[in-house]
Amino acid sequence: MHQLDSILKQFNYYKELGEKAMEQVSDEALFWQANPESNSIATIVKHLWGNMMSRWTDFLESDGEKPWREREAEFENDLQSRAEVMQKWNEGWTCLFNALQSLKTENRERIIYIRNQGHTVQEAIERQLAHYPYHIGQIIFIAKLHATESWKSLSIPRGGTMDYNQQKFEQEKKRAHFTDE
């Protein structure tokens, strides 16, 4: 289950990146759209929520695309407040973490379905581990556009690479997960 620990850490890492980005913008910026075809941060959160609720509810037993999911409605920008955005955000992540924490080693090679396409449990997890960071990157990009000069870097700040690397290379080599810092 060491691999599951790594997966949980990565999902947590991306959840925290999204939260740190959203914390840096005004309530109004959460709902901003560059044009009618683009998504606001709130809409991206609503889509992630819908995907997470569908994929992770009854994860091992039913198709990951639930009949009750209304995917098209996820792209309607109808959330009204930061509280609503964060409620959807947290509900989706709670569903994901509950499903993952209930997995057993023997489940990793089990076949589950998403839209009738078979995946091992491991493949289904990897699929979502690629999907969610894609959208969280969009959230970060939009947030960074709005925060401008007040943006606090979520990784190594510009101009800080030499110092960061020097600190790292002054330490002894060790086995660690990149999210442990």
pLDDT tens, per residue, the chain with 181 residues:
478 899 999 999 999 999 999 999 999 999 999 999 999 999 999 999 999 999 999 999 999 999 999 999 999 989 999 999 999 999 999 999 999 999 998 898 999 999 999 999 999 999 999 999 999 999 999 999 999 889 999 999 999 999 999 999 999 999 888 888 7
Place of tokens 């037993």: 61
pLDDT (0 to 100) of residue 148: 85
pLDDT (0 to 100) of residue 177: 86
pLDDT (0 to 100) of residue 181: 76
Q: How far, in Å, are 76, 118, 119, 120, 124 from residue 109 at the CA level?
A: 36, 11, 9, 5, 10
pTM: 0.94
Give the residue extent of every domain in the chain: 2-155
Cα-Cα end-to-end distance for the chain: 21
Q: Which CATH superfamily is domain 2-155 in?
A: dinb family like domain (1.20.120.450)
pLDDT (0 to 100) of residue 163: 96
Rounded CA gap, 110 and 121, in Å? Answer: 6
**The residue type at 50:** G
